[in-house]
Structure 1
Amino acid sequence: MAAAQRMVVIGGNAAGMSAASQARRLRRAGELEIVALERGGHTSYSTCGIPYWIGGDVTDPDDLIARTPRQHRERDIDLRLHTEVTALDPDGGRIRLRERGSGATGERWLGYDHLVIATGARPVRPDLPGIDAPGVHGVQSMDDGRALLADLERNEASRAADAPRRAVVVGAGYIGVEMAEALVRRGYRVTVLDRAEQPMTTLDPDMGRLVREAMRRMGIETVTGTTVTAVRTGEGGRARAVATEDAEYEADLVVLGLGVRPETGLAREAGLPLGESGGLLTDLAMRVRGREDIWAGGDCVEVPDLVSGRTRHVALGTHANKHGQVIGTNIGGGYATFPGVVGTAVSKVCDLEIARTGLLEGQARAAGLRFVTATVESTSRAGYYPGAAPMHVKMIAERRTGRLLGVQIVGREGAGKRVDVAAVALSAGMTVERMTALDLGYAPPFSPVWDPVLVAARKAAAEVRRAGAH
């Protein structure tokens, strides 16, 4: 009987453990040995759920864990926690690892037949005075969430019930606005600082302005067009304020929401191919370009953008799990591909829902596309039905062909998931004219007779015709 091959997985969250689990479903332990290495103490958890744990929507952190280490091991996966990979040797077909805390003398080499790199992403942490002070928190892992929650509870216990509590969030992207909401719900006065013109640079500025206004109404102070220069510290070296170029904002704690970058330092040192954002480049089977035995998926890769034709870095658990399924299927002897993304994302701050898919105006220009835009205001339900709420939809279409390029939606309950209609239309390469005839579900509790997405498509189609006439 032939010796079992060895699959080594670096990273124990969505992409890595999905790959390991899928490969195990297809190949038995006697055929494929699976070793998964995780430098932390948790596996298969929802990073996206951490703000809702902090805010109190999720009360038990175990609810964020899809599969525990014990469950993985019961499926014949050799999962090793607190184990860090320190070097890759692609030509030698091996990696160097050590158990965390063992020191350099505890390092050893482990060979592989198949290597899966699922190292995820790291939070952006600018090199500023005081950035590593106690009271400054990133939000990327379960350990980050526990540390932030413990700090919040200590701060709340040490202050009188009516004493003001202040928090500063640096960065107004998805994590930033979600953490702002979580802190508001815990009774904090929240200031959000960002260098961009408007919050949510995943939207065009005109749509980001709607988010800013809604945050203001919720009591969140949003300061844009500003650059953070330092975190000021006080007693015990703890953060007490955040300084910008022209002001200082008091803070009992600071949360960093500046986004993430691919964690690909080991891959870079090993000479593996990286894209513009620093993510690993793969083929459609998620195999690292130029390597037959190395695969990569999750937040450490760049993937094709089906709208622009370029590669892009998109750090989302939805994609990471799909990458893992594709990798595990291929290593397990099957065949699967990941064709790419259209850039769909949805979020909320309090009762405001924020969604986008496809390209922003700036991204369309960078891709060399000429386009028209259309923005409409409608309602989530029939205007006469109780609970109807305003919704803004912005649509971008290619100037000559009318091909849909992107959609952004900002509104109240019922707004966010409407972006899925646009995501399907983008994936299908539809024109805005074709979209106007989509047979969407209608009843007054769910939509006006003309759904807001279709109203925007009608207006965009008219703009395309007008542009063609000139």
Structure 2
Amino acid sequence: MSRTNRGAGAERLVVIGGDAAGMSAASRARRLRGPDELEIVVFERGHFTSYSACGIPYWVGGDVSDRDELIARTPEEHRSRDIDLRLRSEVVEIDVAGRGVRVREVDRGAESWTAYDHLVIATGARPIRPALPGIDAPGVHGVQTLDDGQELLDTLTRTQGRRAVVVGAGYIGVEMAEALINRGFRVTVVNRGEEPMSTLDPDMGRLVHRAMEGMGITMVNDAEVTGLSTGVDGRVRAVGTASAEYPADVVVLGIGVRPETGLARAAGLPLGRHGGLLTDLSMRVRGHENVWAGGDCVEVLDLVSGRERHIALGTHANKHGQIIGANIGGGYATFPGVVGTAVSKVCDLEIARTGLREKDARRAGLQFETVTIESTSRAGYYPNASPMTVKMLAERSTGRLLGVQIVGREGAGKRVDVAAVALTAGMTVEQMTALDLGYAPPFSPVWDPVLVAARKAASVVHRTP
């Protein structure tokens, strides 16, 4: 196999992965450096680029009518900007010392080497697929890419039965449960945790549990899947646990994701305790001057706990790509870290969180107080005011805000952004009570629910020796 050399006079940037982080990095670098200075080659093993993976459950569920609505920029648009984008091309080896990548054409199997001056690893994350009997049977689907979403939709269209089992009750699990309900399936969610949404504390997850059952979803908690049984045609027919079996015409895996870092591991690049690549503030891989990484394959600094963590979100991936592209393009940018903000929904229930859960705070060695309040999305007398539960964690003695979780109906989820800003600024709960938030009866009670929680937290912290 021959090694493709760099063109004379121009450096070469090679990007592995053509979604949020990878294409953001390539596009930003191109805006800063023209093709005479920087040649950009992107390898993507799938059929699509620059799409919203977060939107896949809403496409599957019918809220988004067409797959192409999830695509922010097509391959042709990237190529028109002098980016050499190669679809169905999978990087199978990184030679760090020799500054090259080995690429396999997915459809033909041909392999070749491509040299680089700068390398961006944006390989994303892969769905967790435990080694269980029947896990690879037809009718069992992970949902991470547009290709995955299309395969699931094809199965839903062909399947005559209307029984669906979702394994796992995290963000993807609850969103896919809603999508399947919208498609007319009878849905059972099998979850090994105490309550759904392990990103929340169990008392808040219990609110999600009740709401899901109220929507007609059967919740099975504290249940470990032991295997999937198949019919005579080889297709999945049921999901089994130690104590029961749940009939299924289709199974969706929503167990979570892991960083896709097999290539990086084989190349000897540094990985963290969650399996993600470790970078410095500029998103350069630690100890490697010309290798960068971003998106779901990296670990990031949690600004509240001070620890590294893995968070797979498109918001972070796009920021990582912008920062990488700016630095490769000759500018300067850094990514300081995250506070762990996320928002989701199942049917009309909104679920939000930022900062630390109770177990996160304990693991970090922090002493804290918690408060939980009930409020409404609007003034109580205003039509359609809906209930909302807010839980807040504050550090004992200092009163520093540590985390917020919100579960409620319309108008609840995005309130978490106030808490995210407060966390980033290192505010105390008492300082939060003085925030000048907007008020009118159609939008909020006189005291916004987040500020009600902050007032209660401040009073508890002050009473604590």
State the TM-score, normalized to the length of structure 2.
0.98
Match of 1:31 among 37, 40, 55: 37
Task: Tell me the equivalent position of 1:162.
Answer: none
Aligned partners of 2:19, 2:345: CA distance in 1, in Å?
24
Aligned partners of 2:82, 2:242: CA distance in 1, in Å?
55
> What are the superposed Cα offsets for residues 46-98 of structure 1, whole Å, 9 maximum, x if unpaired?
00000000110000110000000000000000000000111111111111111
- The structural deviation recorded for 1:2 is 7.0
- 1:53 is paired with a residue whose SS is helix
Match of 1:166 among 163, 166, 174: 163
> What are the superposed Cα offsets for residues 390-433 of structure 1, whole Å, 9 maximum, x if unpaired?
00000000001000000000000000000000000000000000
Amino acid at match of 2:35: A
> What are the superposed Cα offsets for residues 92-119 of structure 1, whole Å, 9 maximum, x if unpaired?
111111111333xx22211100000000
Is 1:60 matched with 2:66? yes
Task: Tell me the equivalent position of 2:53.
Answer: 47
Question: Which residues of 2 match residues 311-322 of structure 1 at below 5 A?
Answer: 311-322=308-319
Question: Which residues of 2 match residues 223-242 of structure 1 at below 5 A?
Answer: 223-242=220-239
> What are the superposed Cα offsets for residues 289-325 of structure 1, whole Å, 9 maximum, x if unpaired?
0010000000000011000001110100000000000
- 1:242 is paired with a residue whose SS is strand
Aligned partners of 2:164, 2:370: CA distance in 1, in Å?
37
Aligned partners of 1:235, 1:458: CA distance in 2, in Å?
61
Question: Which residues of 2 match residues 142-221 of structure 1 at below 5 A?
Answer: 142-155=146-159, 158=160, 165-221=162-218
Match of 2:383 among 383, 386, 401: 386
Amino acid at match of 2:328: I
Match of 1:98 among 100, 104, 114: 104
Is 1:89 matched with 2:100? no
> What are the superposed Cα offsets for residues 200-235 of structure 1, whole Å, 9 maximum, x if unpaired?
000000000000000010010110001001111003
> What are the superposed Cα offsets for residues 246-296 of structure 1, whole Å, 9 maximum, x if unpaired?
000001100000010000001001110000100000000000000100000
Match of 1:124 among 120, 125, 128: 128
Between 420-429 and 93-102, report the one with greater CA deviation. Answer: 93-102
- The structural deviation recorded for 1:154 is 1.0
- 2:210 is paired with a residue whose SS is helix
Query: Percent identity between the aligned chains?
Result: 75
- 2:384 is paired with a residue whose SS is coil
Aligned partners of 2:232, 2:31: CA distance in 1, in Å?
55
Match of 1:77 among 83, 88, 109: 83
Aligned partners of 2:51, 2:106: CA distance in 1, in Å?
21
Aligned partners of 1:83, 1:186: CA distance in 2, in Å?
34
Give the count of matched residue pairs.
459
Amino acid at match of 1:295: W
Amino acid at match of 1:20: A
Aligned partners of 1:92, 1:278: CA distance in 2, in Å?
24
- The structural deviation recorded for 1:185 is 1.1
Aligned partners of 2:351, 2:104: CA distance in 1, in Å?
43
Alignment gaps of 5+ in structure 2? 1-6
Question: Which residues of 2 match residues 364-403 of structure 1 at below 5 A?
Answer: 364-403=361-400
Amino acid at match of 2:38: L
- 1:235 is paired with a residue whose SS is coil
Alignment gaps of 5+ in structure 1? 160-164
